[in-house]
């Protein structure tokens, strides 16, 4: 329980009479609560606050578990997307290989035909 100004004044006067150091008297009286807000916490109050903190910690742990579940789901989706990308890459590489082979065949065929035409023109003259 806090000391009122009147109840603080009596010990202050008594201590001031015994001690010459006002600072020491002030330090001694500082150990007594000056206001109700400075009153020491009761065991029940501390237990209630600890219970509130523990409940909040449990709530946060639940939220963290939810986030971990969501991250695991996203990780699964990313793996799925990676597999789809690999499949797409394989199909693209196959298509590019086929196109390159066709272009090479056409280029070689055109060159052989051109050389044939040059030989034919050279023989005709």
- The per-residue pLDDT for range 24-58, each reduced to its tens digit, is 777 777 766 666 555 667 889 899 999 999 999 99
What is the value of pTM for the model shown? 0.43
Residue-range domain boundaries for the chain: 1-38
Do 1 and 33 form a contact (C-beta atoms < 8 A)? Answer: yes
Dihedral pair phi/psi, residue 4, rounded to 5°: -80, 170
DSSP state of 31: T
- The per-residue pLDDT for range 80-107, each reduced to its tens digit, is 898 899 999 999 999 999 999 999 999 9
């Amino acid at each position: 329980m806090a000391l009122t100004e009147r109840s603080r004044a009596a010990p202050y006067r008594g201590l001031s009479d015994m001690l010459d150091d006002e600072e020491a008297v002030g330090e001694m009286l500082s150990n007594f609560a000056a206001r109700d807000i400075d009153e020491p916490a009761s065991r029940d109050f501390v237990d209630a606050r600890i219970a509130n903190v523990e409940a909040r910690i449990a709530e946060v742990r639940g939220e963290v578990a939810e986030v971990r579940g969501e991250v695991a789901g996203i990780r699964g989706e990313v793996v799925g997307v990676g597999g789809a990308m690999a499949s797409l890459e394989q199909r693209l590489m196959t298509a590019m290989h086929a196109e390159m082979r066709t272009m090479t065949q056409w280029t070689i065929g055109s060159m052989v035909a051109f050389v044939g035409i040059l030989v034919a023109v050279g023989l005709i003259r």
